[in-house]
């Protein structure tokens, strides 16, 4: 009976049961490199700049129209400093399709408004507008940093990072003291901190001999001295407020990693690392680090943009291949995070179908909400391809669904890839506290997701 049971019944196991000593060592060193990437990249702009620099150091060349490429060549396309597409040219024609991994490098945060600087009760603030889905109350009373760029009137650009160095000041959004929260505590969580209360404290010291706006003027003077900017320059700036601090090990056994923006830089890193040192694959391997996923994959740097066609067409042109033919024969792993089962909140999940920490990369047949709306809903054939590919490569994987039916839902770039006539499956790292200032993932799942991306490229 036991034999029959193990033969017929699906019995997923915790990944640590089969992790070899060699794999464990590889996992630890991979996670160190991932943590360093996370510390260097908190915005899509920083991730793109990091990817360009790292790709160049690994022999990648910028792809330009009319350029000739041959199998084994490594190329990239920097999409306006906000998103990047990379490829290693395969030995087979692009007519036979490409193997694509698509992740996003934008994360929920608070963006500084176009006219942000003001003073109230002798405290200077930035007004912000949150980006992506956040529980606003989570972003008060945590240390914050500012990352971004400012384009000055003369066209020169200055890069701003405040709050990450140990000697830097951090920024802060206030919450109400519990002593006076009788009314606030009656509100729903959505209203406890409202959008227009996400005002970031910048300073309190008035500039001497100044009649009005003395604190605001002081802050502007400091910014002017450090960055050479004036208040009007905020109009042509892209400043974002994100949680300050580094990626840290979590748990007494150090099996987890806590950081801002694992969603989805944990999959972005899993995709790009194996591509950097890849030999000549059979099919051309394409890595996408997209922007704007958290607000619907819109805009020129989002996955709905024709920038993807622009890059792929440049590649197809080098071989006289029709783009539509290439797409029809391509496969895409939409590499994005899933919700790990959280025993603190079991009521939102179907335990039989939710992914778990340490069970490996989570393959998700469909995302969406209310009857799969908005999902690409991968076919049996597509799921079979992923299952076989990962099994053959010895990658630990599990299945995932985004919570209980009708509990909520979400989407990824999968639907936009599938709309292009590219067979697409969602897969990624299970996450605890997704979209919170600090999210948690397991080292084992991070490592397995990297192995999964590698296997898909080489399929």
The nearer residue to Mn ion, 139 or 234, going by C-beta atoms, is 139
The nearer residue to Mn ion, 318 or 334, going by C-beta atoms, is 334
The nearer residue to Mn ion, 119 or 293, going by C-beta atoms, is 293
By CB under 5 A, what part of segment 100-119 binds Mn ion? none
Task: Report the nearest approach of Mn ion to the CB of residue 294 (Å).
Answer: 5
The nearer residue to Mn ion, 349 or 433, going by C-beta atoms, is 433
The nearer residue to Mn ion, 90 or 258, going by C-beta atoms, is 258
Task: Report the nearest approach of Mn ion to the CB of residue 132 (Å).
Answer: 6
Task: Report the nearest approach of Mn ion to the CB of residue 142 (Å).
Answer: 19
Q: How many residues bind Mn ion, per CB under 5 A?
A: 3
The nearer residue to Mn ion, 297 or 329, going by C-beta atoms, is 297
The nearer residue to Mn ion, 73 or 336, going by C-beta atoms, is 336
Beta bridge partners of residue 332, listed in sequence order: 100, 424
**Among candidates 402, 453, 424, which has minimal Cα distance to 308?**
424
By CB under 5 A, what part of segment 251-270 binds Mn ion? 263-264
Residue 107 near residue 264, CB atoms below 8 Å: yes
The nearer residue to Mn ion, 263 or 271, going by C-beta atoms, is 263
Task: Report the nearest approach of Mn ion to the CB of residue 131 (Å).
Answer: 11
Task: Report the nearest approach of Mn ion to the CB of residue 196 (Å).
Answer: 23
By CB under 5 A, what part of segment 279-338 binds Mn ion? 336
Residue 352 Rama label (left phi>0; alpha psi -120 to 50; beta): alpha
The nearer residue to Mn ion, 73 or 106, going by C-beta atoms, is 106
By CB under 5 A, what part of segment 354-413 binds Mn ion? none
Q: Does 439 bind Mn ion (CB under 5 A)?
A: no
Task: Report the nearest approach of Mn ion to the CB of residue 303 (Å).
Answer: 11
Task: Report the nearest approach of Mn ion to the CB of residue 53 (Å).
Answer: 24
Task: Report the nearest approach of Mn ion to the CB of residue 449 (Å).
Answer: 13
Q: How far apart are CA 261 and CA 38, in angstroms?
A: 8
Measured from each CB, the residue nearest to Mn ion is: 264
Q: Which residue has the tokens 């009319």?
A: 66
The nearer residue to Mn ion, 119 or 263, going by C-beta atoms, is 263
Retrieve residue 70's tokens: 């041959």
By CB under 5 A, what part of segment 327-356 binds Mn ion? 336
Task: Report the nearest approach of Mn ion to the CB of residue 302 (Å).
Answer: 13
Task: Report the nearest approach of Mn ion to the CB of residue 216 (Å).
Answer: 34
For 81, residues 6+ apart whose C-beta sits below 8 A from its C-beta are 45, 48, 49
Q: What residues line the site for Mn ion (CB under 5 A)?
A: 263-264, 336
């Amino acid at each position: 009976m036991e034999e029959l049971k193990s033969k017929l019944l699906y019995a997923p196991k915790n990944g640590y049961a089969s992790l070899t000593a060699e794999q464990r060592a590889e996992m630890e060193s991979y996670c160190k490199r991932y943590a360093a990437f996370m510390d260097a990249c908190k915005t899509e702009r920083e991730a793109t700049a990091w990817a360009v620099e790292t790709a160049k150091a690994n022999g990648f060349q910028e792809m330009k129209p009319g350029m000739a490429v041959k199998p084994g060549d490594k190329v990239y396309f920097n999409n306006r400093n906000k998103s990047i597409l990379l490829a290693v040219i395969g030995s087979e024609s692009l007519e036979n399709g490409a193997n694509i991994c698509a992740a996003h490098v934008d994360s929920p945060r608070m963006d500084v408004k176009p006219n942000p600087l003001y003073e109230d009760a002798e405290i200077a603030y930035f007004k912000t507008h949150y980006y992506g889905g956040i529980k606003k109350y989570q972003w008060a009373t945590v240390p914050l940093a500012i990352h971004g760029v400012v384009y000055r009137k003369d066209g020169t650009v200055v890069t701003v990072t405040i709050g990450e160095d140990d000697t830097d000041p951090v920024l802060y959004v206030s919450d109400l003291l519990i002593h006076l929260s009788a009314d606030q505590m009656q509100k729903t969580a959505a209203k406890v901190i409202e959008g227009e209360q996400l005002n970031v404290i910048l300073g309190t010291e008035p500039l001497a001999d100044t009649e009005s706006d003395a604190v605001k003027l002081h802050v502007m003077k400091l910014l002017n001295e450090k960055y050479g900017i004036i208040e009007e320059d905020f109009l042509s700036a892209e400043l974002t407020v994100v949680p300050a601090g580094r990626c840290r090990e979590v748990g007494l056994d150090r099996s987890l990693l806590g950081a801002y923006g694992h969603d989805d830089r944990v999959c972005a890193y899993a995709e790009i690392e194996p591509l950097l040192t890849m030999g000549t694959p059979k099919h051309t391997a394409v890595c996408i680090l997209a922007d704007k996923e958290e607000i619907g994959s819109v805009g020129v740097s989002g996955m709905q943009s024709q920038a993807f066609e622009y890059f792929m067409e440049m590649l197809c042109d080098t071989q006289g291949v029709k783009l539509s033919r290439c797409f029809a024969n391509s496969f895409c792993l939409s590499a994005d995070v899933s919700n790990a089962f959280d025993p603190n909140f079991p009521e939102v999940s179907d335990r039989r179908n939710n992914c778990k920490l340490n069970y490996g990369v989570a393959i998700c047949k469909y995302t969406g909400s209310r009857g799969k709306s908005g999902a690409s809903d991968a076919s049996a054939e597509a799921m079979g391809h992923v299952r076989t590919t990962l099994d053959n490569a010895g990658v630990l994987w599990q299945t995932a669904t985004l919570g209980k039916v009708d509990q909520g839902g979400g989407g990824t770039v999968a639907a936009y890839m599938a709309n292009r006539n590219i067979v697409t499956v969602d897969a990624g790292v299970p996450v605890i506290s997704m979209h919170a200032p600090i999210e948690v993932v397991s080292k084992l799942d991070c490592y397995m997701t990297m192995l999964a991306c590698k296997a898909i490229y080489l399929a």
